[in-house]
Amino acid sequence: MKRVDFLSLQGINARFTEQFNSAFAEINASGWYINGKFVKKFEAEFAQYCHAEFCASVANGLDALELILKSYLQLGLLAKGDEVIVPANTFIATILSVSNVGLIPRLVEPDPVTFNLSSANLQSHLTNKTKAIIGVHLYGQLFDLNIVKFAKENNLLLIEDAAQAHGASSDGLVAGSIGDAAAFSFYPGKNLGALGDGGAVTTNNKKVYEMIKMISNYGSSAKYVHDVIGQNSRLDEIQAALLSIKLKALNADNSRRQKIANLYSEKIHSKFLELPAFDKNSNSHVFHLYVVLSPERDRLKNYLSEKGIETLIHYPIPPHRQKAYQGILEGNYPITDKIHEQCLSLPISPILTDEEINYVISTINSFN
């Protein structure tokens, strides 16, 4: 039987084995493992890649989000109890970052077609406590860019959760420099993934950058001098070196993902499936995930599994229905519920072969 992996991390990283090995040998021999030249180099490269002035690498994507909010709290741009708008259908980390630092998440339903926040339905969620929006570029697709204008007009901070959207861009705007600050994750399965945990904040705001650098390094401005309550959230030299190597391949990898998405969208014809909406002629979707909706999702998933095709669900339970947020996240979110009941992520990765893609397409087209 054919076997199509959802995402072979082993295969993705095998392409870089020689370069990884020589980077590791150099770092091992140097005796310098934290806050060294590889971290500095990667931060400079990633800032440039995102068209941002500054990049602060951190330990993971959740920390990146939390550190942005903590820096705003420290700088007096936010205060405990302020409300932050977040999409109701995001990965739970987006919402955790808000509630973990003493802010109030206000869930907003996504656009049913793009699965992303759209500027049209934000106005009715504003209260006099609303101070920020975290827009998620979900599945790799930029959120509605009218949100930038909406945030400015309403004096709101705009934070990008770009954990799924490394390299997405539209009309000269690049994920990571669209809002006031952006959070990235380098979790192994992301479009730019480390061989472990990693994350970064990009921003054009020097004060925010410096505050995040300080908080993430024990609140320390100079060694053993602590100006603010800090934490330990750092990317290490080895992960930074590996990420520098992989960053060079990111554009080609994203193009391959887009090629696969276009093939799926052109060739999958099934009355059981709704295919994702995206702009074919732009770089605004980098297809971290290719997500379809199907009223027969579970039957389709089992069928594909029997045919050797691995699929995943992003995500099976929406945040407002998680036990962790019982009694905290209130309200009805029918669009979000429908997406979670019907969504299915098809295999997509830069190393999927044409043969595998065609097999996925023909197998789905024979589903009945």
Q: Which residues bind ligand PLP (CB under 6 A)?
A: 60-62, 90-91, 93-94, 136, 161, 163-164, 185, 187, 197, 199
For ligand PLP, the closer of residues 82 and 197 by Cβ is 197
Nearest approach, Cβ of residue 198 and ligand PLP (Å): 7
Nearest approach, Cβ of residue 136 and ligand PLP (Å): 5
- Cβ atoms of 95 and 103 closer than 8 Å: no
For ligand PLP, the closer of residues 61 and 319 by Cβ is 61
For ligand PLP, the closer of residues 198 and 350 by Cβ is 198
- Cβ atoms of 209 and 217 closer than 8 Å: no
Residue of minimal Cβ distance to ligand PLP: 61
Nearest approach, Cβ of residue 55 and ligand PLP (Å): 15
Nearest approach, Cβ of residue 200 and ligand PLP (Å): 10
| Single-letter code of the amino acid located at 138 | L
Nearest approach, Cβ of residue 143 and ligand PLP (Å): 11
Judged by DSSP in three states, 91 sits in coil
Nearest approach, Cβ of residue 340 and ligand PLP (Å): 15
For ligand PLP, the closer of residues 261 and 364 by Cβ is 261
For ligand PLP, the closer of residues 164 and 294 by Cβ is 164
Distance, CA of 190 to CA of 251 (rounded, Å): 14
For ligand PLP, the closer of residues 243 and 357 by Cβ is 243
- CA-CA distances (angstroms) from residue 220 to 55, 149, 308, 367? 18, 36, 52, 59
Q: Where are the alpha helices (DSSP H) in the chain?
A: 9-14, 17-30, 37-49, 61-74, 92-100, 146-153, 206-216, 237-267, 297-306, 334-342, 354-365
Per-residue HEC secondary structure of 125-175 comes to HCCCCEEEEEEECHHHECCCCHHHHHHHHCCCEEEEECCCCCCCEECCEEC
